Amino acid sequence: MATLTNTQISVTYVGLLKTSANTVLTSTAQQITDGSGNNSIMFLSTAGVGIGAAAASGKELDVTGNVLVTGDLIVDNITIDGSTITNASGNLTIVNTVDDGDVILQSDDGSGGTTAYLTLDGSTTTIVASKNITLADDLEVIFGTGNDLKIFHSGGQTELENYTGNLVLQQHADDADISFQCDNGSGGVTEYFRCNGDNSDIIVSKPIELEDGVELRIGSSGADLRFFHSTNSFMQNFVGDLQIEQHTDDKDIFFRCDDGSGSVTTYILLDGSEVATKIETVKIFMSNLPTSNPSVAGQLYNDSGTLKISAG
């Protein structure tokens, strides 16, 4: 070692770091000072290192105050005594580079333990939510890169809005249904209509009401057969014959109309058991009958007030 002379001794001593008690390290933390007694922010003991204050029991490194890390910080496990992680500049990125590993967000399970709330599953490349997700009123769940589909609750109603392409609702379970249910008027809910997967049909459980002038259209062209009501009610056929059939054995088809007294009565009865057409009104007006023999077998004509049947 070089010989220290004159002021070199004091200069060297001032530049030395020492413990505040001028002793060797013990289990009791001592503040590090320089030779002139200026305190540093470091506290050393045989049990741990404290920065800003003595290390708490059980902590090998205990920092009181802010820490600035430039570069990588490699830590096996992190325990945070506080409640906030704050990023003041740029992006905050949390990365798990372990193959098939997850990023798991856990919190109290309400029973004294912890449980997973949200898992970024690296093996299935999915996000798994293990608890309910609650959005406040008017906050949207948005799907698609162009905000294509939105689902939200406004406080007064719930809305599902699609902005791109068709909105398709599919049921892939074999023989299962899609059931549309609503309030039943008595504090519960009931089915209004159902897409019946096992019979490939639609079951309507409640009345369907069409506003005036709105047509019920049947046929692939959308215009083959129409039903609607404006001032009057109409059934209109635009393609092919219009056929009315009764397939129940020995049953009838009734044509009824107002009876002039506030009720309805049968005007024409197609009797399925007797295979007969019955005119059940007291009057029949045929004002457009031919007035001479039309020479068409079976056709009626008016011969000067006498109803006759042409023999052909």
Q: What is the pLDDT along the chain (312 residues), one digit of tens a residue?
A: 455 555 544 555 566 777 877 888 888 888 888 877 788 888 988 888 988 888 888 888 888 888 888 888 887 877 777 778 888 889 989 999 999 999 999 999 999 999 999 999 999 999 999 999 999 999 999 999 999 999 999 989 999 999 999 999 999 999 999 999 999 999 999 999 999 999 999 999 999 999 999 999 999 887 899 999 999 999 999 999 999 999 999 999 999 999 999 999 999 999 999 999 999 988 888 888 999 999 999 999 999 889 999 998
Terminal-to-terminal C-alpha distance of the chain: 148
Judge whether 250 and 270 are in contact, CB under 8 Å: no
The answer on 101 and 56 residing in a single domain is no
Q: Assess if residue 185 is contained within a domain.
A: no
Q: Which of 211, 202, 205 is nearest to 191 (CA)?
A: 205
Q: Supply the range of the domain harboring residue 61.
A: 7-66
Give the dihedral of Cα atoms 257, 260, 261, 263; nearest 10 deg. Answer: 10
Q: Assess if residue 128 is contained within a domain.
A: yes
Angle, CA of 182, 183 and 187, to the nearest 5°? 150
The domain boundary, picked from 84, 114, 133, lies at: 133
Q: Assess if residue 205 is contained within a domain.
A: no
The domain boundary, picked from 25, 46, 66, lies at: 66
Q: Assess if residue 142 is contained within a domain.
A: yes
The answer on 151 and 111 residing in a single domain is no
The answer on 108 and 122 residing in a single domain is yes
Q: Assess if residue 35 is contained within a domain.
A: yes
Q: Assess if residue 107 is contained within a domain.
A: yes
Q: Assess if residue 110 is contained within a domain.
A: yes
The answer on 143 and 112 residing in a single domain is no
The answer on 152 and 126 residing in a single domain is no
Q: How many domains does the chain have?
A: 3
Q: Assess if residue 163 is contained within a domain.
A: yes
